[in-house]
Amino acid sequence: MELTGRKLLVTGAQQGIGEAVALAAAKAGADVALNYLDGQAETEALAEKITALGRKAVVLQADMSEIAALPDLVARAAGGLGGLDLLCNNAGIYPRIPFLEMTEEIWDQTLTINLKAYAFLAKAFANHLIASGGDGAIVSMTSLAVQGWLDSAHYASSKGGIVSLTRSMAMELAPYGIRANAIAPGIIDTAQPRYGYTEDQLKDLVAGTLAKRFGSAAEVADTAIYLLSPQASFVNGQVMHVNGGAFFA
């Protein structure tokens, strides 16, 4: 896939899938703005890897829960890269909690960061791109959890919302040459699933997939690069499942 000359903003780029997407984009020829909440050292180390590939990288701290600051994040990314035409909505949180113990605070925090921020960052990005007269693409991370998941009513709801948001954005942004798609990763070998499961529990989940293994962040990133690239020009409003063949009830 080819991203030469493209300018990409990745949220939550300090680790995991976000880090993998940023590095894969640079290898495909893109300059990359790396957003992080914490983990500045890790993000700066990633920026060094990208510049070693001959691409430009800028490191941008921002809290996705601060919705009013998201247009500024877009402006800083565009300013640092000399333009912006691609967005990967990746930052998110996943506090495990049983539904009967759910608090309004946890619900609101999860929906704000995982869904509301995706919408308003994409809005700011699209407005920037429309004003600059270019075309572009948005990729947002949803999840296997959209089917429903234990201790995850809040998280599954936020990720299900991303599916509807993506389809709606695709409809409204298509006239401006902006595509919007989503990726639903399965059980990926990153830190995130380990916050809520033991290694034995994860092995049981992996055994229930057709692949019988963890997915890698790089495999999710490869799908993201495809969706962001011109090769996916006829793919819009879709959710691509990268889960090793997971069909949990």
Which ranges of 117-152 does DSSP label H, i.e. alpha helix?
Answer: 117-132
Contact of 78 with 127, CB cutoff 8 Å: no
Give the active site residues. Answer: 155
CA pair distance 228, 180, nearest whole angstrom: 9
CA pair distance 43, 230, nearest whole angstrom: 27
Contact of 209 with 244, CB cutoff 8 Å: yes
Of 140, 126, 227, 141, nearest in space to 173 by CA: 126
131, HSE (Cβ side, Cα atoms, 13 Å): 11
Coil/strand/helix, residue 141: strand
**Token pair listed for 183:** 């990726």
**Token pair listed for 218:** 């790089």
CA pair distance 54, 86, nearest whole angstrom: 19
CA pair distance 242, 73, nearest whole angstrom: 28
First to last CA, the chain: 35
Residue in the block written with tokens 């506090």: 95
